[in-house]
Amino acid sequence: MPAQPFVDKLNEQIAHEYGAHQQYVAIAVWFDAQTLPRLASFFYAQALEERGHAMMMVQYLLDQGVDPVIPGIEAPKNGFADIVEPVQLALDQEKRVTQQINALAGSAREHGDYAGEQFMQWFIKEQVEEVSSMNDLLTVVERSRANPMLAEDWLAREKSAGEGGDPTAPTPAGG
């Protein structure tokens, strides 16, 4: 049985992951409205990834015999001044999620929930990649502020489709 403090924090994290999903959808829609399809596509994919993270957490709780709590979430920010603002928001969000994930792993360790601690290891690795990716994108959009098509070109070159899924990722609920 998982430690209750870890379960409580994991249920909170499910809310954070769904909130990140919604924020990334809002960012993607904004980029779509700006006719920046590569940036939109990048954030639509990020949104699905965040939803997937929430579903992995749901499945973990189900596997542990615990009822997950599917939360309501706050509305995301929908309007932005330029192409930099939404990417900065995304980077800030990824940094915040990294702190949350680290706190989750710490809670599991503190309460002797070794299965929970092991489960969180994949998310720790994932957050390193997420922060790095968003840092890179922020650098590119800052340089491309006056000409967003440069960011579109960079995404076409550097973030082309075809990256496969991570075979070490936890199984999401429903997947």
In terms of pTM, does the model score above 0.85?
A: yes
- Burial label for 30, CB within 10 Å (0-12, 13-18, 19+), is buried
Number of folded domains that form the chain: 1
Whether 103 has a pLDDT exceeding 90, the answer reads yes
Residue 59 belongs to some domain of the structure: yes
Q: Please state the rounded mean pLDDT for residues 94-109.
A: 97
Residue 84 resides in a domain: yes
In a domain, 146, yes or no: yes
Q: For helices 114-143 and 148-158, what crossing angle results, to 10°?
A: 130
* Amino acid present at 80: F
Confidence label for 168 from pLDDT (cuts 50, 70 and 90) = confident
- Two tokens at 132? 């790095």
* Residue 86 scores a pLDDT above 70: yes
Residue 8 CB neighbour total at 10 angstroms: 12
Whole-number average pLDDT of the chain: 94
Is 175 a member of any domain? no
- Supply the range of the domain harboring residue 154: 4-158
Contacts with 153 (C-beta within 8 Å, 6 or more apart), sequence order: none
**What does the pLDDT read at residue 122?**
96
Under the banding of pLDDT at 50, 70 and 90, the label for residue 163 is low
Statement: residue 102 has pLDDT above 70? yes
Residue type, 14: I
Does residue 167 lie within any of the structural domains?
no
79 vs 72: CA distance, rounded Å: 21
If you average pLDDT over residues 99-113, what whole number do you get?
A: 96
Q: Residue 117's domain is classified under what CATH number?
A: 1.20.1260.10
* Residue 160 pLDDT: 66
